[in-house]
């Protein structure tokens, strides 16, 4: 048998194996943070609605600025009607950058955000996507919260420590902030 059929058989086998294997996904490894730990790390926790979003180039980096209308401050934040986030990543002139595991926000989305100032006028979200809860409404009108942890790989698995309703989350934040 010549080397050519052996090589062709090996190549076909390798391609079949590669096609059957799941695609690798980028992740960011982090420690699981409880609501208490997130609250201690945050200078402000707000319940609000995502407003205007725009991306800009600053030097060789791209940042996205996001205005969040504050419905209720759960910790700190004073009496501001709006807080402005400055997050690394975005798209400018067809160039896109992102941080794997960073929170994804959409205009009009109701959220609870755990925030830390990153300048005198802007905030960042604490612990990547762990610091963002999306608020949804159940059929009975109860405000529920959930997290999208896409792109996050936890270093140690632990039970889900997150409350399921907005009222439970607000209570947990206030208890941890005393």
**Average of pLDDT values for 123-129?**
95
Contact status, residue 103 vs residue 150, Cβ threshold 8 Å: no
Higher pLDDT, 143 or 21: 143
Q: Three-state SS string across 62-77, please?
A: EEEEEEEEEEEEEECC
Domain annotation for the chain: domains and CATH numbers: 24-176 (2.40.50)
In angstroms, the CA 49 to CA 148 distance is: 17
Q: Which two tokens stand for residue 154?
A: 């936890």
pLDDT at 14: 40
Residues 131 and 30 sit within 8 Å (Cβ to Cβ): no
Which residue's entry shows tokens 């941080």? 99
pLDDT at 52: 98
Looking at the predicted structure, is the pLDDT value of residue 85 above 80?
yes
Q: Is the pLDDT of residue 6 over 80?
A: no
* Token digits of residue 99: 């941080």
pLDDT digits (tens, 9 = 90+) for 136-168: 999 999 999 999 888 888 777 665 667 789 999
* pLDDT value, residue 177: 87
- What's the pLDDT at 7? 41
Q: What pLDDT is stored for residue 146 in this prediction? A: 93
**pLDDT > 90? residue 9:** no
pLDDT of residue 82: 96
* 52 conformational bin, left if phi > 0, alpha if psi -120 to 50, beta if neither: beta
Instruction: Give me the chain's average pLDDT, please.
Output: 85
Question: pLDDT band at 15, cuts 50/70/90?
Answer: very low
Q: Which residue has the higher pLDDT, 51 or 80?
A: 51
Report how many helices (DSSP H) and strands (DSSP E) the chain contains, helices first: 3, 11
Structure tokens at 25: 């996904």
What confidence score (pLDDT) does residue 79 get?
79
């Amino acid at each position: 048998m010549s080397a050519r059929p052996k090589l062709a058989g090996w190549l076909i086998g390798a391609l079949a194996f590669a096609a059957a294997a799941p695609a690798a996904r980028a992740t960011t490894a982090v420690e699981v943070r409880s609501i208490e730990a997130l609250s201690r790390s945050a200078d402000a926790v707000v319940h609000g609605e995502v407003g205007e979003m725009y991306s800009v180039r600053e030097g060789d980096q791209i940042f996205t600025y996001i205005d969040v209308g504050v419905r209720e401050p759960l910790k700190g934040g004073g009496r501001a009607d709006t807080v402005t986030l400055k997050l690394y990543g975005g798209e400018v002139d067809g160039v896109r950058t992102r941080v794997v595991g960073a929170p994804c926000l959409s205009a009009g989305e109701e959220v609870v955000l755990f925030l830390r100032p990153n300048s005198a006028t802007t905030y960042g979200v604490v612990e990547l996507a762990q610091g963002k809860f999306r608020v949804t409404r159940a059929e009975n009108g109860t405000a529920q919260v959930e997290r999208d942890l896409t792109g996050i790989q936890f270093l140690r698995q632990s039970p889900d420590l997150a409350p399921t309703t907005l009222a439970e989350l607000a209570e947990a934040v206030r208890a941890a902030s005393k």
